[in-house]
Homo-oligomer: A and B are copies of this chain.
Amino acid sequence: GGKQYKRGPTARVFVNRSLSLDKIKFFGFDMDYTLAVYKSPQYEELGFELARDRLIHCGYPEELKRYIYDPGFVLRGLIFDRLLGHMLKVDTYGNILVCTHGFKFLKTSEVIQDYPNKFIQLDDTKRYYICNTLFNLPEIYLQACVINYFSTTDGYVKVVFAKTEGVQRGNLMMSYATIHTDIRSAVDSLHFNGELKDKTVENLDKYVVKEPKLPLLLDRMREHGKVFLVTNSDFKYTNVSGRILLWELYFDVVLVEARKPKFFGEGSVLRKVDMETGKLHIGHYTGSLKKGAVYSGGSSDTLCDMMNAKGKEILYIGDHIFGDILKSKKRRGWRTFLVVPEMSHELAIWLEKKDLYHRLNELDAMIGVKYRHLDSASRERPNIQSLQESIRSAVHEMDMSFGTFGSLFRSGSRQTFFASQVTRYADLYASSFINLLYYPFCYFFRAPAVLMPHESTVDHDS
Binding site for B on A (CB under 8 A): 1-6, 9, 12, 14-18, 58-60, 93, 116-117, 119, 121, 123-124, 161-162, 166, 168, 170-175, 178, 181-182, 217, 220, 269, 272, 274, 279-287, 302, 310-312, 326-327, 329, 332-333, 343, 346-347, 350-351, 354, 357, 360-362, 364-365, 367-369, 371-378, 380-382, 384, 409-410, 412-415, 419, 422-424, 429, 436-444, 446-462
Contact = CB atoms under 8 A, between A and B. Distances in A.
A121 B325 CA distance: 12
Given A413-B449, A439-B376, A3 B461 contact: yes
Nearest to A431: B454
Nearest to A334: B117
Given A3-B457, A450-B450, A453-B16, A374 B443 contact: yes
A116 to B, nearest CB: 8
Return the 3 tightest CB-CB contacts between A and B, nearest first: A171-B287, A1-B460, A117-B333
Q: State the number of copies, please.
A: 4
Contacts of A347: 454, 458
A124 B365 CA distance: 43
Nearest to A378: B440
A260 B3 CA distance: 47
A192 to B, nearest CB: 13
Nearest to A436: B376
A270 to B, nearest CB: 9
A360 B448 CA distance: 11
A447 to B, nearest CB: 6
Given A284-B172, A409-B452, A447-B413, A332 B93 contact: no
Contact of A443 (B5, B371, B414): B371
A60 B271 CA distance: 13
Contact of A440 (B4, B281, B375, B447): B375
A413 B448 contact: yes
16 contacts: A3-B461, A4-B372, A14-B454, A59-B280, A93-B424, A170-B287, A172-B285, A181-B269, A350-B454, A350-B459, A354-B459, A371-B439, A374-B443, A410-B455, A413-B448, A419-B452
A452 B422 contact: yes
Contacts of A461: 1, 3-5
